[in-house]
Structure 1
Amino acid sequence: MRHLLAVTAGLALLATPACSAPTPPRTAASPTTAGPATLPATLPAPTGPHPVGTTVLYLKDTSRPDPWNPDAQARELKVTLWYPAGQRDGPRAAYMTPEESELLMRGTGIAGAPYDTLSRTRTNAIKDAEPVGEALPLVMLSPGFTKPMSTLTSLAEDLASRGYIVAGIDHPYESYATTLPGGRIAGCLACDSNSDPGFGAGLVQGRAADVSFVLDQLPATWDGSGRIDRSRIAMAGQSIGGSSALAAMLQDPRVRAGIDMDGTAYARIPKGGLSRPFMFLGSAQHVSGGPAPTWDRDWKLLTGWKRWIVLSGAEHQSFTDTPLLSDALDITPTAGVLPAARAAELTRTYVAAFLDQHLKSRPQPLLDQPSPRYPEARFCPAACAPS
């Protein structure tokens, strides 16, 4: 099995497109000498009333081969669930393993901190806690290209604390490191094809198939699946994961609503349009008439409830945990970029408002007009037209 480590910079704090060409990593020191020891990062506490539990499932789709690994005759998936829990105390789940942390940091060329740094990140969810609640809405989450699902943990924990069940999918061979059963590590084989014509479109179609398979399998694979209201399902994702949310909605009518967080749109909406609720939440690269024109194209084809919100000062990674980890990784944030805590607050707030309105039928005035509490949020396309 091949493992590609020199791939697209995934934890860099500079804005990058949804899929970018592989670049060689900077020279890195060994794990025992890579920079001084630092205090572990701690993810911000969830804002909802419920304690959060988490568990991991491993699923195998024997109906299709893996699209990236020719030696795998079945598509394997790692699914992390976050959910309201009945206990506040217990062992917290690991953010990632030391080996995953090392592969991720080596792949991105981060050498200013020990290679186990990300494995020491402190989360809030209690490992394998008993789920509580009934008829809870389900949110599917998909990370950016080369990113593990763990990079959206802060958002997932917050949604679970607000009364959602969240299913985050690690798409093997599309990230630096995904641990599969038996301790096998799936590296980024998809990075070999990153520059191929049609790569993005093919990748999001594969992720849409992953989402449909997980929705099919959840009732049989998780004891808490009876707590899911399967009539209330949405999907969100960052970068290529956001584009995959749109692809999943086009392929699977069970996904009632979707959010694309700063992802170039690769799935093409048919001329008849898409009538289910959808929200673009992104950085300035997606402003109307800007350098990433796919949102402008798709905005016209969204025929139902829709919003297009740009966060001033945000960059591509502002919608992930990455900025929250910068101190621990000894990375200096770019001047003028939205501070990490504020970026996390804005992302959590607008994602939750969208889901509360469309999965819980709770009207959200925050989504109707700009708020003085969140002046960074600009409503597009009119307010974002280039000057």
Structure 2
Amino acid sequence: MPDVRPARRVLLAGGLGAAAAAALPVPAYASAAEPVLLRLAGPAGPAPVGAVELHLVDRSRTDPWTDRPRELMATVAYPAVDVRDRPLLPWLPPGAERALKARYGGALDGYAFPWTHSADRAPARPGRRPVLLYSPGAASDRTFNTLVVEELVSWGYVVVTVDHPHDSGEVEFPDGRVVLSAGEGSTEAEVTAAVAVRAADLRFVLGSLAVLSRGGNPDAERRRLPRGLRAALDLSRVGAFGHSRGGAAAAALMDLDPGVRAGADLDGTVFGPVVGRGLDRPFLLMDTAVHDGLNKDPYWPEFWRNLRGWRRCLRLADAGHHSFTDLVALAPQLPPGPPLQVGTIAADRAVAAVRATVRAFFDLQLRGRPDTGHLLDGASRRHPEVGYVAG
């Protein structure tokens, strides 16, 4: 985040930002009759993308917001073998889309949200794939990093994106319920508690994937699973990454579960015991010049000192906090208005750089593939926007 004081960071950590939401104008051509279709670029890898949504219920935990069993929504995206005649999943399901538009006071009503490039329940490609978990920023949704997720899948990863009800922005369940964010918190204690819930969520999702890999169906409604998905999960090669608060959740998950072999935090302050304990496995930090995490963030320096495995801190030049998400690509398709924290970096350059960096990191750590393009050293000719800070 641009401002690293804990309370301020919490207030601005997710979504488009409150000021932008309140003042975003709607141009004359964006009418309800002919909404402007927002678009996201497809992945560049050789494999088409399949995906399935899961409704997961953890009956061993009580949701701190409801005193009921903790419920989650997750999407498992995977390399597919045949996507012909398969419907694509929307960027947000209808109820969540309506809720997001309501959150911004009608400013987005003249727009149709994008479709993903993920084919619903397409058969999975043969072969066991490394598994990555993704957690979004506070008040953001699991689909807000579709550009990076689909790119990773197209190059052979299974990526599981997770919504954290009451912390994520808009979470729609199969019965049509939409759970909204309860607020991003205003104290360090509140945010630390929210990150701990997220880490427990991610750990439960890992357990649900283990059930799936053994032939079970963890979906609460027992909806049909894609053919071949069970055999596609290599749970001996698991990584985690996230944006903003989701990056903190990735670090906290690694602190809980030694089976998670590598993690990445995209511009998020780290909270909780992992700051002092550190990690003995590879971890990537990536920030912006405004954040300048190792100098200005209240927790990155201590966390950095306690990282005992492979470590790297990289920086995305001319970027804002949301340059790591789909918002960097959607912002140019919206009319001029308040800044959306995407910096001055060109959208296509930001998308390409973040996609390539996250892929290079997990290729190295989970697949043993060397970083021949020196991207993780901040010396890539192809992606000069990625700079080296420390290692």
Q: 1:131 aligns with which of 124, 129, 142?
A: 124
Q: 1:291 to 1:125 in 2, by over 3 A?
A: same
Question: Are 1:263 and 2:268 counterparts?
Answer: yes
Amino acid across the alignment from 2:81 = G
CA distances 1:308-357 after superposition (whole Å, capped 9, x unpaired):
00111111100110121124433458596111111111110000000101
Residue equivalent to 1:172: 165
CA distances 1:191-241 after superposition (whole Å, capped 9, x unpaired):
1x6114411111111111001111111223356133211110000100000
CA distances 1:145-193 after superposition (whole Å, capped 9, x unpaired):
000111111111111100000100011111331101210110112x1x6
Residue equivalent to 2:185: 194
Q: State how far apart, in whole Å, the 1-side matches of 2:29 and 2:167 are.
A: 29
Q: Please identify, of 299-308 and 371-380, the stretch whose mean Cα deviation from structure 2 is larger.
A: 371-380
Q: 2:380 aligns with which of 365, 371, 375?
A: 371
Q: 1:92 aligns with which of 88, 92, 103?
A: 88
Q: State how far apart, in whole Å, the 1-side matches of 2:136 and 2:265 are.
A: 11
Amino acid across the alignment from 1:58 = H
CA distances 1:49-104 after superposition (whole Å, capped 9, x unpaired):
1011111010000111112224xx10000010110001243322111133322322
Q: State how far apart, in whole Å, the 2-side matches of 1:38 and 1:14 are.
A: 33
Q: How does 1:112-261 map to 2 (within 5 A)?
A: 113-114=108-109, 117-118=112-113, 121-189=114-182, 191=183, 194-218=185-209, 219=212, 220=216, 221=218, 224-261=229-266
**SS of structure 1 residue aligned to 2:356:** helix
**SS of structure 2 residue aligned to 1:158:** helix
Q: State how far apart, in whole Å, the 1-side matches of 2:3 and 2:82 are.
A: 38
Amino acid across the alignment from 2:82 = Q
Gaps of 5+ in 2: 219-224
Amino acid across the alignment from 2:78 = Y
Deviation at 1:377, TM superposition (A): 1.4
Residue equivalent to 1:9: none
Q: Is the 8 A contact 2:90 2:115 kept in 1?
A: yes
Equivalent residue pairs, number: 362
Q: 1:20 to 1:158 in 2, by over 3 A?
A: same
**SS of structure 2 residue aligned to 1:181:** coil
Question: Are 1:69 and 2:66 counterparts?
Answer: yes
Q: 1:345 to 1:15 in 2, by over 3 A?
A: farther
Q: Is the 8 A contact 2:35 2:111 kept in 1?
A: no
Q: State how far apart, in whole Å, the 1-side matches of 2:173 and 2:117 are.
A: 23
Q: Is the 8 A contact 2:30 2:111 kept in 1?
A: no
Q: State how far apart, in whole Å, the 2-side matches of 1:15 and 1:104 are.
A: 25
Residue equivalent to 1:56: 53
Residue equivalent to 2:11: 20
Q: State how far apart, in whole Å, the 2-side matches of 1:231 and 1:179 are.
A: 31
Gaps of 5+ in 1: 1-12, 383-387
**SS of structure 1 residue aligned to 2:10:** coil
Q: CA RMSD in A?
A: 2.8
Q: Is the 8 A contact 2:315 2:389 kept in 1?
A: yes
Q: Is the 8 A contact 2:127 2:232 kept in 1?
A: yes
Q: 1:82 aligns with which of 77, 80, 91?
A: 77
- TM-score, length of structure 1 as denominator length: 0.85
**SS of structure 1 residue aligned to 2:122:** coil
